[in-house]
Amino acid sequence: MGITDRWKDYRPQKSVLAWTAVGASILTMVVGFTWGGWVTGGTARSMAEEAAQARHAELAATICVENFSSLSEARLEQQELVALSSYRQRQFVENAEWAMLPGGQKISRDAASLCAEQVAAIDPEELPAPITAETELNAIEPDSEIQ
């Protein structure tokens, strides 16, 4: 009697089938949660919240940098910011009026840190020149005459 004949004649008991199904289920879950990237609902929820907070901080930092870039005294503010330590830079941004979000909402700590990094990385030549008495006179009295 060969192995194929024995395989054909085998009639498993119900308990063996049940334990095989239980073992296969457990093995599937272990493999899925360990190597398959599966997560529980709570973990997925916390991951989604973290991602949302990170995206909110990025958006707020972008608004902060745009507000900063439109300042007439942006170069001077940047010089002050760069002279500070990273901890003080975050506080500087949090207290700055240009860091306020639309609706008067205060910027978060993560967004302030990100904004400070981005503002410090801006090339000063890309920022508007400080307004002085000379530049105001040039704006009022252009060099060419109107005919």
pTM recorded for the entire structure: 0.66
Residue 36, C-beta contacts closer than 8 angstroms, at least 6 positions apart:
none
- Per-residue pLDDT band for 9 (boundaries 50, 70, 90) equals confident
Residue 32, C-beta contacts closer than 8 angstroms, at least 6 positions apart:
38
Burial of residue 119 (number of CB atoms within 10 Å: 0-12, 13-18, 19+): buried
> What pLDDT is recorded for position 144?
54
> What pLDDT is recorded for position 6?
87
> Positive or negative, the Cα torsion across 73, 78, 84, 86?
positive
* Cα–Cα distance for residue pair 77/93, rounded to 1 Å: 10
Name the residue with higher pLDDT: 78 or 126.
Answer: 78
Q: What is the 3-state secondary structure (H, E, C) of the chain?
A: CCHHHHHHHCCCCHHHHHHHHHHHHHHHHHHHHHCCCCCCHHHHHHHHHHHHHHHHHHHHHHHHHHHHHCCCCHHHHHHHHHCCCHHHHHHHHHHCHHHCECCCECCCHHHHHHHHHHHHHCCHHHCCCCCCHHHHHHHHCCCCCCC
| Token digits of residue 105 | 């909402």
Is residue 2 scored above 90 in pLDDT? no
Is residue 4 scored above 80 in pLDDT? yes
> What pLDDT is recorded for position 142?
57
Is residue 92 scored above 80 in pLDDT? yes
- Domain range annotation of the chain: 3-34, 49-127
Is residue 133 scored above 80 in pLDDT? no
> What pLDDT is recorded for position 12?
81
Is residue 143 scored above 60 in pLDDT? no
**What's the pLDDT tens digit per position in 34-63?**
999 999 999 999 999 999 999 999 999 999
